[in-house]
Chains A and B, each alone.
Chain A
């Protein structure tokens, strides 16, 4: 058969399968991310039905998927929101970073993956999944809760921190020394600050160049601008994803609102392609050997995440049940962990086990995380909290 014919059949069949999986996940109340990853595993190298013609399509699609994930994330926040939040929640963000990145780094060193592997794994364990958590909060009717701003501000700081972390990790992975990484980091800091200042001062001007009224022109304009900036950022070694994130932040007002609606379906399509592509590149036979380490890593870093949320909520005077809710809600990792692992896997500088480990790790946290988030709503959990609150001063948060 002709190459294009096979490509169409493969892509079509896979997307159809993803559609069914996504429906299934909604039905059972799960994020579709783990199912997409599993689908990728099934169709990848060493999987059940390896694909032949469509790998290239998925590779490009995955690249666009990351960029769209990030630009949508940026569109959700306005620059002034980010800066205002940074002032209020910086301490929470700091101990979030320490508590969650360090275990990952230590684990990387323990596995003998060297500094580069440790830095990558630190990023994988650091960042909670804002997509999964936002959905959990909405599903559980907690958007109005008083601990919710705490959760959101931790997520915002993590996203902003990624704008500095990704360039650093990109530089290190491209084989540059720590000095090269430092230079990339300096460029990134400069760019991020510049974009924030420009967005706060002249955000309206940038948004006015793109008409909010005409959907077609807006879609093409925003998508074009995002890809262009992402490409330039990649050329400057600042990471394409960060470029896209900054475009999202720079846009504001009705343009941002309408662009979010227009880009959402595209993001859903290409983000699914991205998760499948990551699965495709992971050999399912490589997962069983790393399953135990992944499980250990998941247990440790989910516990540290619970502690993070607990402490962050305590700092702003939230009661005991609210602290637990904040902590448990933060546990799931997701898209960012895969984005970071994806960067590393693409360069083959790090141990090839990183891909399978990250896959297993995200699968575990993204499935168990939302379930754990429901814990504080159960009667026995509330009774246990009341008893332990009555027994004396609030106990140190159990880390298991």
Chain B
């Protein structure tokens, strides 16, 4: 995803798809946003420019995002013999409270992945390594039984300094 400032107008995000097409979103400063499709023969010019209202943009994002999520879930189920999902609460005394997800090295150490964090009824999907844990967070982990137990053990480690 490439981001370009348009002085006086707003920002443009664009992406080249695996099939070689370029498409982008122009976000105007006054809140208007346009979906643009680029010409395959002349990748610098856009052939279609579709203004989207707030509702339309939201609906479109929902559909694209939801279908992606569904695809991931069904894919998971197909190849997931022996793969489990579990919610693990971070214990109050854990050394990782206030530290970053990357610090746990959970994936490297257990080959199980933290795919989401539940915090105060909010779902934080695909947290990145800089995500900071808080006491009371519940992590959603995908992995083998052994991996899940490993993550539980890591998160239960207490801080040696206090």
Chain A interfacial positions (CB closer than 8 Å to B) = 76-77, 81-82, 84-85, 130, 134, 141-149, 152-153, 155-156, 257, 318-319, 321-322, 325, 382
Q: Which of B23-31, B70-78, B97-105, B123-131 contacts A (4 or more CB under 8 A)?
A: B23-31
22 contacts between A and B (CB under 8 A): A76-B8, A81-B7, A81-B8, A82-B7, A85-B7, A134-B9, A143-B34, A144-B38, A146-B43, A146-B44, A149-B5, A149-B7, A152-B6, A153-B7, A155-B7, A257-B29, A257-B30, A318-B44, A319-B43, A322-B44, A322-B45, A325-B44
- The answer to the question of B62 belonging to the interface, with a C-beta cut-off of 8 Å to chain A, is no
The majority secondary structure among interface residues of chain B is strand
B46's partner among A130, A141, A321 (CB-CB below 8 A) is A141
Contacts of B9 in A (CB 8 A): 134, 143, 152
A268 to B7, CA, bound (A): 22
Contact of A141 among B29, B43, B49 (CB under 8 A): B49
| Complex CA distance for A227 and B5, rounded to whole angstroms | 31
Check B45–A321 contact: CB distance below 8 A. yes
Do A144 and B44 contact each other (CB < 8 Å), given the known contacts A81-B5, A152-B6, A156-B7? no
Residues in chain B near residue A382, CB distance under 8 A: 42
Is the pair A77, B26 in contact by a Cβ cutoff of 8 Å? no
Chain A contacts of B38 at CB under 8 A? 144, 146
Alpha-carbon distance A144/B9, docked complex (angstroms): 10
Which residues of the partner chain A approach B151 to less than 8 Å between Cβ atoms? none
CB of B37, distance to nearest CB on chain A (Å): 9
Those of B20-74 within 8 Å (CB) of chain A: 24, 26, 29-30, 34, 36, 38, 42-46, 49
In the bound complex, how far is the Cα of B6 from the Cα of A58, in angstroms? 36
Per the bound structure, the CA–CA distance linking A359 and B43 in Å amounts to 39
Kindly provide the distance from the CB of A162 to the nearest chain B CB, expressed in whole angstroms.
15
Give the CA-CA distance A324 to B49 in the complex, in Å: 21
Interface, chain B (partner A; CB < 8 A): 4-9, 12, 14, 24, 26, 29-30, 34, 36, 38, 42-46, 49
Contacts of A147 in B (CB 8 A): 44-45
Inter-chain contacts of B34 with A (CB < 8 A): 143-144
Determine the distance from Cα of A318 to Cα of B34 in the docked complex, in whole angstroms: 22
A141 CA to B38 CA, complexed, in Å: 12
Write out the residue numbers on chain A whose beta carbons fall within 8 Å of the beta carbon of B24: 144
Extra inter-chain contacts (6) besides given A82-B7, A146-B45, A322-B42, CB under 8 Å: A81-B7, A141-B46, A146-B44, A147-B45, A149-B5, A325-B45
Residue of B nearest to A313 (CB): B44
Answer whether A145 and B44 are a contact pair too, CB < 8 Å, given A152-B9, A257-B29: yes
Query: Residue on A with the closest CB to B46?
Result: A144
The closest CB in chain A to the CB of B10 belongs to A143
Q: Which of B7, B9, B14, B42 has the most chain A CB within a 10 Å cutoff?
A: B7
A116 to B140, CA, bound (A): 74
Which of B8, B14, B24, B49 gathers most chain A CB within 10 Å? B8
